């Protein structure tokens, strides 16, 4: 999925993403279910951690009691929490909570983008695999860009096309869209557009 | 009809050698004929990934583990996913494997047949039948060749050998020789003689190149060139035994030995053990110069320094070095083994038996011929130029492709194949792609081997089905064809090339004879 944003003639943003916008009912339903599952899991983990806090500090503030009273009225939540408390020791409980948090915060898609600004440079960015930290970006000033090209390479058991930028004074090229490695047609569009945007047309 | 062809072999540049240059030259001439060619080989130090060579030639260096003499480790199936991707993205129709010792080539042929592609195999070497290694190699060859569309051999001896080793139908085996780029192997030109005379003996120990225009007197020094890797099968033992005898018998002989290998040490030891007055001339110059390994580009410069080329190889499928030497204007003394007698006509060569006495006799005879001016060495180059050309090899190879795909030959190819040829090269039974027919062919390979091969083929087929699900075809990008090059660009290039390029040359000569006025206009 390639989307192009062109706020001004000298700036262009190419974004590729593995996320497809939910169009039909089924995609929407699964999307909604996924969000619901995440909310439930979050509440559960919060409950477990709260319980843990109460166990660790029995004389702590009374607001925890109120929440505890409130959540214990929800039967499945209480049952699951009790199950965890009875069956597992504290390190395991904490580990399980951490694991669930990791799962909740994981992104199910990757978004990568290439921002080209004439006279300034290129910024590549790859979204992080988790909501907990930000995406990794890299800015390359125009003066140090030597070339941009599309080439092929072996990756795993596949042969893929990639768009790369040659940077002055660096041994390795910078691969644009390194996670997704889009199809050749997309890469060609990006390559043409980026070159046209980066270098002023000769006239 | 143009084809998308994949050449596959473990052996390719930057490693020097006969198979390597064959693949390169054949591919570039096929591209000139309008085909799309890619080369698939494994990684070499400094050569990884996908690269383009000049002349639009694309090379895939598969990341694969190299075990022995640049052959990859035989894993049978592990190359399949990558090869499949390459075959699909390049839209390959014909897979052309080279070299019977190349594991990659055999695996490629197996997978290509599983995918339903046409396959051709070119054999470049001869093998024995008796020792354990040969029996193993022959069994593997039989496995790989039981399901190949056509086999090409570089000489008739090689064809006989391969047909026997792999129990092939002789009608499905063609002979297409190697060739040389004659323009790279020219004898010493007059201006070069003057240049080297000016420079003096700058290149160190080597004797100065002889002037081919001057005739040899009976006592003049004669330089013998030996260019060979120093392996047992190249007859280094024979050379080591014959060397002292030749030095003793002929005062005026000098040797230049180029090449390296495990037996280089034996050669050096033999030279050290000889008496001083035998190895050095009265002026203190060494009569035997060991150059070590040289690059292919340097071969010509070494060759023109000699009068004679001595080849003592014990097995040789074609012997490109002999043709190169003759093209440089050297008299050739060669052992009569393998395809060697087919390579050059008798007036350029002295054939000897692979025995020490006979090698000495042959060299003596050749020296006699040289000094008695019975041979015209200056004519050799033009003769060889007309005998061997890569464009001719490419034209004949294309004919093989036409045969296996059942398409009609290209216009300039038609004239060579009249009714006499219609039945030639047709396989006895049409090689069907159906799995059951393939299994039948493999099952016939042997009592145990047949069953093993059938299992291998079935597993390969299952892997193919799995890969079709894992990496679906429509997710694989198709490579863009190279932008078309205007036709006359090639013809302009050919003008600079002295080598006989069939089509262009014919046209030019026709133009000259038929309508002289027209050619003026065109120029």
* pLDDT for residue B206: 66
User: Is residue B285 one of the residues assigned to a domain?
Assistant: yes
- Kindly state the percentage of chain B with pLDDT values over 90: 32
Cβ A141 vs Cβ A120: under 8 Å: yes
Q: Which range has the worst mean pLDDT, B67-76, B411-420, B424-433?
A: B424-433
Helices and strands per DSSP (H, E), number in chain A: 5, 8
Q: Do A154 and B82 touch (CB under 8 A)?
A: yes
Does residue B308 sit in the same domain as residue B429?
A: no
Instruction: Inform me whether the pLDDT recorded for B264 exceeds 50.
Output: yes
Q: Which range has the worst mean pLDDT, A168-177, B122-131, B150-159, B391-400?
A: B122-131
Q: Do A159 and B50 touch (CB under 8 A)?
A: yes
Which residue of chain B is at minimal alpha-carbon distance from A156? B82
Q: Which range has the worst mean pLDDT, A40-44, B179-183, B328-332, B371-375?
A: B371-375
pLDDT single digits (tens) B346-372: 888 999 999 999 999 999 999 888 888
Does residue B467 sit in the same domain as residue B374?
A: no
Establish if B81 touches chain A: CB-CB under 8 angstroms: yes
Read off the tokens for B251: 């005062």
Does residue B57 sit in the same domain as residue B91?
A: yes
Establish if B285 touches chain A: CB-CB under 8 angstroms: no
Contacts B89 to A, Cβ<8 Å: 159
Distance from CA of B81 to the nearest CA of A (A): 6
How far apart CA B312 and CA B235 sit, in angstroms, is: 5
pLDDT, chain A, mean: 86
Does residue B172 sit in the same domain as residue B200?
A: no
Establish if B418 touches chain A: CB-CB under 8 angstroms: no
Establish if B83 touches chain A: CB-CB under 8 angstroms: no
Q: What is the mean pLDDT of residues B453-471?
A: 94
Q: Which range has the worst mean pLDDT, A153-167, B43-57, B188-202?
A: B188-202
Q: What is the DSSP string of B240-305?
A: HHHHHHHHHH-TTEEEEEE--STTHHHHHHHHHHS-HHHHB-TTS-BSEEEEES--GGGHHHHHTT
Establish if A161 touches chain B: CB-CB under 8 angstroms: yes
Chain centroid to Cα B138, Å, comes to 21
Last residue of a domain, one of B387, B421, B448: B387
- Domains plus CATH for chain A? 2-19+109-198 (2.30.29), 25-105 (no CATH)
Q: Do A158 and B63 touch (CB under 8 A)?
A: no
Instruction: Among A151, A153, A159, select the one facing B89 at the smallest CB separation.
Output: A159
Q: What is the mean pLDDT of residues A47-56?
A: 79
Q: What is the mean pLDDT of residues B433-449?
A: 84
Does residue B421 sit in the same domain as residue B499?
A: no
Q: What is the mean pLDDT of residues A55-61?
A: 72
Instruction: Inform me whether the pLDDT recorded for B28 exceeds 70.
Output: yes
Q: What is the mean pLDDT of residues B261-286?
A: 88
Establish if A154 touches chain B: CB-CB under 8 angstroms: yes
* pLDDT for residue B499: 40
How far apart CA B382 and CA B48 sit, in angstroms, is: 40
Distance from CA of B488 to the nearest CA of A (A): 29
Instruction: State the helix-helix crossing angle for A63-72 and A25-56, rounded to 10 degrees.
Output: 130
Q: Do A183 and B85 touch (CB under 8 A)?
A: no
Contacts of residue B193, defined as CB under 8 A and 6 or more positions apart, other chains included, come to B209, B211, B213
Contacts A184 to B, Cβ<8 Å: 477-478, 480
pLDDT band at B507 (very low <50, low <70, confident <90, very high): very low
Does residue B415 sit in the same domain as residue B516?
A: no
User: Is residue B278 one of the residues assigned to a domain?
Assistant: yes
User: Is residue B149 one of the residues assigned to a domain?
Assistant: yes
pLDDT band at B485 (very low <50, low <70, confident <90, very high): low
Which of B470, B477, B480, B483 should one mutate to test binding to chain A, selecting the residue with the greatest count of A CBs within 10 A?
B477
Degrees, nearest 5: CA angle B463-B466-B468: 110
Q: What is the mean pLDDT of residues B157-161?
A: 90
Q: Do B50 and A154 touch (CB under 8 A)?
A: yes
Contacts of residue B124, defined as CB under 8 A and 6 or more positions apart, other chains included, come to B18, B19, B22, B98, B99, B100, B154, B158, B317, B318
Cβ B501 vs Cβ B389: under 8 Å: yes
Task: Find residues 40-59 of chain B whose CB sits inside 8 Å of chain A.
Answer: 49-50
Establish if A70 touches chain B: CB-CB under 8 angstroms: no
pLDDT, chain B, mean: 82
Q: Do B86 and A159 touch (CB under 8 A)?
A: yes
Does residue B188 sit in the same domain as residue B255?
A: yes
Q: What is the DSSP string of B385-442?
A: HHH--HHHHHHHHHHHHHHHHTPPPPHHHHTT--GGGTTTT--SS-----HHHHHHHH
Identify the domain containing residue B296 by its residue range.
Answer: 183-387
Contacts B81 to A, Cβ<8 Å: 157-158
Does residue B213 sit in the same domain as residue B269?
A: yes
* pLDDT for residue B519: 36
| Residue B229 belongs to domain with CATH number | 3.40.50.2000
User: Is residue B329 one of the residues assigned to a domain?
Assistant: yes
Cβ A111 vs Cβ A13: under 8 Å: no
* pLDDT for residue B73: 75
Contacts A153 to B, Cβ<8 Å: 49-50
Establish if A107 touches chain B: CB-CB under 8 angstroms: no
Last residue of a domain, one of B387, B417, B442: B387
Q: What is the mean pLDDT of residues B332-341?
A: 90
Does residue B351 sit in the same domain as residue B414?
A: no
User: Is residue B302 one of the residues assigned to a domain?
Assistant: yes
Instruction: Inform me whether the pLDDT recorded for B2 exceeds 90.
Output: no
pLDDT single digits (tens) B131-157: 888 888 888 888 888 888 899 999 999
Contacts B60 to A, Cβ<8 Å: 159
Cβ B239 vs Cβ B267: under 8 Å: yes
* pLDDT for residue B114: 92
* pLDDT for residue B252: 87
Establish if B82 touches chain A: CB-CB under 8 angstroms: yes
User: Is residue B481 one of the residues assigned to a domain?
Assistant: no
Per the structure, the count of domains in chain B is 3
Instruction: Among A152, A157, A161, select the one facing B81 at the smallest CB separation.
Output: A157
Which residue of chain A is at minimal alpha-carbon distance from B63? A154
Distance from CA of A54 to the nearest CA of B (A): 50
Establish if B468 touches chain A: CB-CB under 8 angstroms: no
Cβ-based neighbour number of residue A192 at 10 Å: 10
Contacts B82 to A, Cβ<8 Å: 154, 157-159
* pLDDT for residue A66: 75
Best mean pLDDT range from A172-181, B189-198, B288-297: A172-181
Does residue B238 sit in the same domain as residue B310?
A: yes
Does residue B52 sit in the same domain as residue B145?
A: yes
Q: Do A158 and B471 touch (CB under 8 A)?
A: yes
Instruction: Among A152, A158, A183, select the one facing B50 at the smallest CB separation.
Output: A152
Read off the tokens for B145: 């060749």
pLDDT single digits (tens) B201-240: 445 556 667 766 666 777 788 899 999 888 888 899 999 9
pLDDT single digits (tens) B268-278: 999 999 988 88
Q: Which range has the worst mean pLDDT, A44-48, B223-227, B390-394?
A: A44-48
Which residue of chain B is at minimal alpha-carbon distance from A160? B477
Last residue of a domain, one of B387, B413, B444: B387
Cβ A190 vs Cβ A116: under 8 Å: no
User: Is residue B482 one of the residues assigned to a domain?
Assistant: no
User: Is residue B244 one of the residues assigned to a domain?
Assistant: yes
Establish if B195 touches chain A: CB-CB under 8 angstroms: no
How many alpha carbons fall within 13 Å on the CB side of residue A76? 4
How far apart CA B175 and CA B164 sit, in angstroms, is: 15
Mapped onto helix, strand or coil, the DSSP state of residue B40 is: strand
Mapped onto helix, strand or coil, the DSSP state of residue B219 is: coil
Does residue B321 sit in the same domain as residue B430?
A: no
pLDDT single digits (tens) A84-142: 777 777 788 888 889 988 988 888 888 999 999 998 999 999 998 888 888 899 999 99
């Amino acid at each position: 999925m390639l989307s192009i944003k062109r706020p001004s003639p000298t700036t262009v943003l190419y974004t590729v993403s593995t996320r497809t916008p939910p169009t039909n009912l089924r995609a929407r339903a699964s999307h909604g279910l996924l969000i619901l599952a995440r909310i439930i899991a979050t509440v559960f983990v919060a409950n477990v951690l709260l319980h843990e806090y109460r166990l660790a500090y029995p004389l702590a503030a009374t607001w925890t009691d109120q929440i505890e009273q409130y959540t214990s009225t929800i039967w499945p939540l209480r049952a699951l929490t009790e199950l965890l408390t009875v069956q597992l020791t504290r390190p395991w409980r904490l580990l399980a909570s951490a694991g669930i948090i990791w799962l909740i915060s994981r992104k199910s898609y990757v978004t990568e983008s290439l921002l080209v600004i004439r006279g300034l440079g290129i910024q590549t960015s790859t979204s992080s695999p988790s909501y907990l930290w930000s995406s990794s970006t890299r800015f390359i000033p125009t003066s140090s860009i030597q070339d941009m090209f599309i080439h092929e390479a072996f990756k795993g058991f596949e042969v893929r096309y990639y768009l790369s930028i040659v940077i002055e004074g660096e041994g390795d090229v910078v691969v644009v869209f390194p996670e997704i490695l889009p199809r050749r047609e997309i890469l060609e569009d990006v390559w043409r557009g980026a070159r046209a945007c980066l270098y002023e047309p000769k006239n | 009809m143009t084809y998308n062809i994949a050449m596959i072999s473990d052996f390719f540049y930057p490693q020097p050698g006969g198979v390597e240059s064959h693949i390169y030259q054949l591919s570039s001439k096929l591209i000139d004929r309008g085909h799309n060619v890619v080369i698939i080989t494994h990684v070499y130090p400094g050569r990884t990934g996908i690269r383009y060579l000049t002349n639009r030639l694309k090379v895939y260096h598969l990341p694969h583990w190299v075990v022995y003499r640049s052959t990859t480790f035989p894993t049978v199936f592990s190359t399949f996913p990558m090869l499949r991707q390459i075959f699909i993205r390049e839209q390959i129709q014909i897979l052309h494997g080279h070299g019977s010792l190349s594991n990659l080539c055999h695996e490629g042929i197996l997978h290509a047949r599983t995918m339903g592609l046409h396959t051709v195999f070119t054999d470049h070497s001869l093998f024995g039948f008796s020792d354990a290694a040969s029996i193993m190699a022959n069994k593997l060859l039989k496995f790989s060749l039981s399901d190949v569309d056509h086999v090409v051999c570089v000489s008739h001896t090689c064809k006989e050998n391969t047909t026997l080793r792999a129990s092939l139908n002789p009608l499905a085996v063609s002979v297409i020789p190697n060739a040389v780029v004659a323009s790279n192997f020219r004898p010493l030109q007059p201006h070069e003689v003057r240049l080297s005379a000016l420079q003096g003996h700058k290149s160190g120990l080597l004797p100065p190149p002889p002037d081919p225009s001057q005739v040899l007197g009976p006592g003049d020094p004669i330089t013998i060139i030996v260019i060979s890797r120093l392996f047992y099968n190249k007859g280094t033992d024979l050379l080591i035994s014959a060397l002292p005898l030749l030095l003793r018998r002929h005062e005026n002989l000098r040797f230049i030995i180029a090449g390296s290998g495990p037996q280089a040490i034996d050669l050096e030891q033999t030279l050290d053990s000889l008496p001083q007055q035998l190895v050095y001339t009265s002026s203190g110059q060494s009569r035997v110069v060991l150059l070590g390994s040289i690059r292919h580009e340097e071969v010509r410069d070494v060759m023109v320094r000699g009068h004679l080329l001595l080849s003592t190889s014990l097995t040789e499928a074609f012997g490109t070095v002999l043709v190169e030497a003759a093209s440089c204007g050297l008299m050739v003394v060669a052992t009569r083994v393998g395809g060697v007698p087919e390579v050059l006509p008798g007036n350029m060569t002295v054939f000897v038996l692979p025995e020490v006495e006979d090698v000495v006799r042959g060299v003596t005879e050749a020296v006699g011929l040289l000094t008695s001016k019975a041979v015209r060495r200056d004519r050799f180059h033009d003769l060889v130029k007309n005998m061997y050309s890569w464009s001719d090899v490419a034209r004949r190879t294309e004919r093989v492709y036409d045969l296996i795909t059942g398409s009609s030959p290209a216009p300039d190819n038609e004239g060579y194949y009249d009714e006499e040829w219609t039945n030639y090269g047709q396989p006895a039974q049409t090689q069907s792609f159906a799995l059951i027919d393939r299994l039948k062919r493999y099952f016939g390979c042997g009592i145990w081997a047949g069953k093993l091969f059938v299992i291998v083929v079935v597993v390969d087929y299952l892997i193919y089905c799995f890969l079709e699900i894992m990496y679906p075809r429509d997710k694989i990008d198709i490579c863009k064809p190279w932008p078309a090059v205007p036709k006359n660009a090639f013809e302009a290039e050919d003008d600079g090339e002295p080598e006989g390029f069939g089509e262009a040359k014919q046209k030019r000569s026709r133009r000259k004879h038929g309508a002289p006025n027209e050619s003026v206009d065109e120029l």
